[in-house]
Each structure stands twice: as C-alpha cells, then as structure tokens.
Structure 1
Amino acid sequence: MCLTAHFIDKDWKLHKKISNFCPISSHKGDDMAIAITKCLIDWGLDKVFTVTVDNGSSNDTTVKELSKQFSKWGTNFMDGSHLYVRCVAHIINLIVQDGLKEVGDSVKRVRQALRYIRQTPARMKRFKDCCEIEKIESNKSLCLNVPTRWNSTYLMLNTAQEFENAFVRYGFLDPGLLDNLLNHTCEDGNIVGAFVNDDWKKIRHMVKFLETFYELTLRVSGSSYVTSNVHFHEIGEVACIFKMLVDSDDTDLSCMAEKMKAKFEKYWSAPEKMNKMIFVACVLDPRFKFEYVAFVLLSMYGEEKGGKMRDDLKLYVISLYDEYRMRTSKESQSESSASASKTIDNEMSSSGSA
C-alpha cells in the first residue's frame, strides 16, 4: 500500500509526500483502515480533510472505518461528509477503456500494420526508407498499444497518423503487408481487410477524440499544483462532449461515445453519491464561482434535478463556512487562553522574584 499526503504549509506552498509504502496482508476494507490509521499515528497526523482512492468496493468500508476513527479523535470535519473522494483520473481511465472495446476496423488495421512492420529489422529499415522518400521528419517511433493502458492506444494512433504517407508507400513496396491485413483474424473472429480509403480519416477523428481525455487525465493528475478546483469543470466538459458525439455521423465514434457515456453516468449521474467538495472547490475558484457551477448543474441534470443540486450546494457552502468559523473561533479562544495563562505565569514569576 502506498499512502501519499498532500498538504499546504503556512507559506501556502503545496507539498506531496509519500508517508508510507508497505506490504499489506489483506485488501479488505477493515484491514486497510487499520493500516492507514497506524501510519497516521506513526506520523502524528490526526487531521485529514479528504481521502482519495480508486473505485474498489473495499474502499467504501475503508473510508467508513477511517471516518469513525477521526470522529473518535474529534477531527472528523462535518462528520466526514466530504471525506471520500473517488479518483477522477481513475474513473476517466475506466470510462475510456469501456469505449475502446468498441474500436472499429480502422484502428485494428493500423494496429496490425504496426505489428507486421515491427516484426523484423528489414521491414523497419524499409519503412524508414519510405519516411525519407516522403520527407517525414519526426522524432517519434512506431509503438504498439498496451491493452491495460488506454492512453497507449491514443499514443499509438497519434504517432501512426504522422506516418500515413509512409504506410501507403510501404504497402506498394511490400505486398506482404496487404496480404497480412487481408488474412489476419482478430481475437473476436472478424476478418480485418486491407486499408480502405477512409481508414486514416477515421484514425484522425479517433485521435482528436482520445486527445481530449488524454489531456484531461494529465490536468487532473498533477501533483505540483492544486487540481480539485478544476474537477467539476472537466466533468461538465466531458458531459458536453458525450452529448455531441453520441449524435455523430461517424458510427465508430458514436458507438464509443454511447458506451463511455453509460459508464460516465454510473459515477456522475447520481448527485447523492457525489462528494460536494468537488463543487465547492469550483465555487471558490474566482474564474468560475457559484453562478458557473449552478449553470453547469442545470445543463447536465435538467431544471428539476439540477435546481435541487444548486440549492443543496448553496446550503452546504453556508454550513461549511459556519463549521470553519466555529472551529476557528474555538482555536482562537484556546490560543488566547493559553497566551493569557502564559502572561499571568510570567507576571507571577516576576513578582515572586522581586
């Protein structure tokens, strides 16, 4: 288990520190909570604002148990209603992976062509010659995607499209490429034919589509800057993209978007399951504020559902402010009492010595 702490110091500088990296005997929620609690005790950390984890079912139990522990310590802010944060980057990964299950034949043909050319040094040499003839100057090299990493599919296609003319020329020089594409059988049993005229057009559309999610993942995965204030903005942007692409004339993209939209709604269509701190962070960003968040909520969820979320959010922001004011007031009183006590002790000590 790797436990990373993010915090802002008194000089408003953001820090990221790995507080624990250790083997664990069980991935059960209760055991994970015990391991995390032990780490917090070892470091003397008792104030935890949020816990960000992936969507593993055991994490539900983990966060519930941690919330109970923080309540015992008297540090569970707003009874832990904000504590559980689902990793946005992880959810995006799951959404795109679902969509890539529906990739069309154009992507399959490009992947197989890459696999064929990379098989021998002689083919790679011939392909490089084609690049020189076509005057393709690129520092990138042909790469195959890794099934478990969706962004590798984006990187594979993004690189391949730069070598489009080289692929076409290579097909004329090596008939084996077209034979390979024609005779190759994919895992799902569908025959993948040779390149067709609109293959590269579809690849460019696919790259542009996946680029949005690739850049989004990079933005929300940053560790040297605060990201919570842009999460809701990005979620709203993705929702708009899905609405647009589901009605696309490109059947491959439309099918992918439909699949991804279903996964998207699994995580972000039920307001009661969403952590309101995602909205609050956006409200506190002076570029967005409450009016923007309210507008996006109405756009995403409609007048009735979105309106209720807007009203609930306003009440939550007020209660959050009241909670901070109450806690700050107590701490100020405590500090004042401690300061007064110290002053009295000093005065008594001075008078005694006199």
Structure 2
Amino acid sequence: MPVLKDVFKPILGGELFHNRCAWHVLNICVQDGLKMVEDIISPIRSAIYFICSSTARQQDFKRLCLENDMKSKHFPIDVPTGWNSTCHMLSSTFGYEKLLSAFYNEYIGSVNVTYLGEEDFNQAKTMVEILKQFEYATNLFSATYRPSSHVVLPRLSVIKVVFF
C-alpha cells in the first residue's frame, strides 16, 4: 500500500486509501448472518449448554449414550467471537440427534421451554453445509506468506452458488 500511495497520491494523505482484508470482511459478514439465523441455532445451543453446565447431567448423558451402544460425547460450546466454533458445535451433534433430543426433552418436559426436534437438526445440517464453505474460504483468504487476492472472487462465486 505505501507504494500505491506514492504512485496514486490519494487525497487526505492516503488516510482513506487502504486495502480491506477479505478474510476480515468475510468474517464480519458471517457473524452478521448468524445473528439473522439465531432461531435455528438457539435450540441446539441451549441443549448443549444444558448438558455441559452440570456434571450430573453430563454423567446422565454419558450413561444414555452407553445404554444405546454409542460412544459418549462431549459437545464443544461455541463462543460469540468465533463463528466457526458455532459450525463445530452444530456439526458435533450429528449422529447424536435422537439421543440429544430425548435427553433434553425429558429434562425440560416440566418447564415451559421449546423442545428440540428433528427439524432443528435438519436446519443445523443445512447451516453447517453453508458455514463449511465460509470456513474453507476463510482459511484460504487468511494466508500470511503468500498472496491470496487472486482466490477471493472465485471462492466468493462458489459461496454464491451455495445460496442459490
């Protein structure tokens, strides 16, 4: 950018003349998009938080897994600043949908809370398919020691296809 500033002599001493990082812009877009689909993510997140917030519930879930001939599972918890942690959290539930639903719904049966159902996991699978495309692009764009600007447009075109 310093070389370009010398060549183009931008106004205001080049204060507004800088290159946005495609990785950063993509991450901001994904974070904003996740806010729009919070109602899809929230039921599964609530179930995972519910299990992970109590050692007794973790043990009960482990017992349920073993009773159903499944390996016990510890689900990762997502963090607000890392959208990819939401992708990992959702994908970690795949294969455990019925157990997670049965466990969570049995515990919250007496409480006025939304039940966790098959449709929640179907929507989560769609979300993960989309987020995996963004995760791949983010890894591609975040190159430090090699140029990456030439891969931005082709990868964004692939992401566009996922939505249509």
C-alpha contact (below 8 Å) 2:130/2:162 kept by paired residues: no
Q: For residue 86 of structure 1, what is the aligned residue in structure 2?
A: 20
Unaligned regions of 5+ residues in structure 2, if any? 11-16
Decide which of 134, 145, 152 is 1:213's aligned counterpart: 134
**With structure 1 as the length reference, what TM-score do the two structures score?**
0.40
Aligned-partner SS, 1:141: coil
Does 2:66 correspond to 1:132?
yes
* CA–CA distance in structure 2, aligned partners of residues 225 and 152 of structure 1: 26
Give 1 or 2: higher strand fraction. 1
Does 2:50 correspond to 1:116?
yes
Letter in 2 for 1:129: R
Decide which of 55, 80, 98 is 1:147's aligned counterpart: 80
Q: Which moved more, 1:115-124 or 1:158-167?
A: 158-167
Aligned-partner SS, 2:64: helix
Q: For residue 161 of structure 1, what is the aligned residue in structure 2?
A: 94
* CA–CA distance in structure 1, aligned partners of residues 81 and 43 of structure 2: 19
Q: For residue 241 of structure 1, what is the aligned residue in structure 2?
A: 162
Unaligned regions of 5+ residues in structure 1, if any? 1-46, 51-66, 184-192, 245-354
C-alpha contact (below 8 Å) 2:90/2:128 kept by paired residues: yes
- Summarize the Cα distance change of 1:213–1:112 in structure 2 as closer, same or farther, 3 Å threshold: same
Q: For residue 120 of structure 2, what is the aligned residue in structure 1?
A: 199
How far apart are residue 110 of structure 1 and its match? 0.7
Question: Residue deviations 1:160-204, cap 9 Å, x none?
Answer: 2242233134247xx323445x33xxxxxxxxx112331211111
- Summarize the Cα distance change of 1:128–1:232 in structure 2 as closer, same or farther, 3 Å threshold: same
Question: Residue deviations 1:127-163, cap 9 Å, x none?
Answer: 122222334448x731222222222211111112242
C-alpha contact (below 8 Å) 1:130/1:169 kept by paired residues: no
Structure 1 runs of 4+ off > 6 angstroms? none
Identity across the alignment (%): 27
- Summarize the Cα distance change of 1:142–1:197 in structure 2 as closer, same or farther, 3 Å threshold: closer
Structure 1 residues 4-153: aligned runs within 5 Å: 48=2, 67=5, 71=6, 76=7, 79=8, 84-103=18-37, 105-137=39-71, 141-153=74-86
Letter in 2 for 1:127: F
Decide which of 177, 180, 183 is 2:108's aligned counterpart: 177
C-alpha contact (below 8 Å) 1:116/1:177 kept by paired residues: no
- Summarize the Cα distance change of 1:208–1:136 in structure 2 as closer, same or farther, 3 Å threshold: farther
- Summarize the Cα distance change of 1:223–1:133 in structure 2 as closer, same or farther, 3 Å threshold: farther
Q: For residue 288 of structure 1, what is the aligned residue in structure 2?
A: none
* CA–CA distance in structure 1, aligned partners of residues 136 and 33 of structure 2: 17
C-alpha contact (below 8 Å) 1:219/1:227 kept by paired residues: yes
* CA–CA distance in structure 2, aligned partners of residues 233 and 196 of structure 1: 37
Letter in 1 for 2:131: L
Does 2:159 correspond to 1:226?
no
C-alpha contact (below 8 Å) 1:134/1:165 kept by paired residues: no
Aligned-partner SS, 2:80: coil
C-alpha contact (below 8 Å) 1:92/1:217 kept by paired residues: yes
Alignment RMSD, CA only? Answer: 2.7
* CA–CA distance in structure 2, aligned partners of residues 214 and 178 of structure 1: 36
